[in-house]
Amino acid sequence: MSNDMGAAIIPKSDQLNADDLITGPITIKVTGVTVKGGQEQPVAISYEGDNGKPYKACKSMCRVLVSAWGADSKQYVGRSMTLFCDPKVRWGGMEVGGIRISHMSDIPESLTMALTVTRANKKPFTVKPLVSAPAVSEPAIDFAATLSGAATLPELVAAWGKVPAGEKKALESVKDARKVELSKPVDKPVDSFVADYEAAQK
């Protein structure tokens, strides 16, 4: 038995839907693209773990894909993008929600273009570069535990000095977070202040 309510609201369909993203954005890695002319949704993008439910991009997002990655869909394989549910997407005059792309790999900088909202209205739409997090090796995990467990700033400095240069980039955020924690003033408990006061009266 599961306590996950998210599983109860997954829509049944042969494609990825905006409702699938109600619980949050997902980042997908493209494994193939099928283009069939003459259909309402001519582009089907397969991705790792899609469970037979490809992402069928609307015309606006197809324009984004072509602007960012070019018209040759074979070049999309192996690249990644982040999809999210935009509840403001309209269809038939109503806000029904739709899938939009927020980030894409293999673009050097943010890309902004004008996309059609209604026949008489266009709005700027921006896609940002998708930056992969640095890989963390097994030794780095051990060093991360040591950094997080440092009891004092001198201990943290000593632990950081033992981290190999090649692992420092991946562990810098761990070190900085622990440094902030150790730099916070420690509040004395009330009993400690009472003891100090009584000692001062003697």
Q: 95 - beta bridge partners?
A: 90
Query: For residue 117, what are the contacts with CB-CB under 8 A and spacing of at least 6?
Result: 90, 123
- Distance, in Å, from the CA atom of 196 to the CA atom of 56, rounded to the nearest integer, reads 70
Confidence (pLDDT) at 94: 65
Gap between the Cα atoms of 197 and 202, Å rounded: 9
Low-confidence ranges of the chain (pLDDT < 70): 1-12, 38-40, 90-96, 117-120, 132-137, 185-202
What is the C-alpha to C-alpha distance for residues 121 and 45, in angstroms, rounded to an integer?
A: 28
Cα separation, 61 vs 48, whole angstroms: 20
Q: What confidence score (pLDDT) does residue 139 get?
A: 74
200: its two tokens: 């001062």
User: According to the model, what pLDDT value does residue 195 have?
Assistant: 56
pLDDT of residue 86: 86
Rounded CA-CA distance 19/7 in Å is 12
Judging by DSSP bridges, how do beta strands 98-104 and 121-129 pair with one another? parallel
Contact 46, 31 (CB under 8 A): yes
Task: Supply the pLDDT for residue 197.
Answer: 47
pTM for this entry? 0.57
Kindly give the pairing relationship between strand 94-95 and strand 90-91.
antiparallel
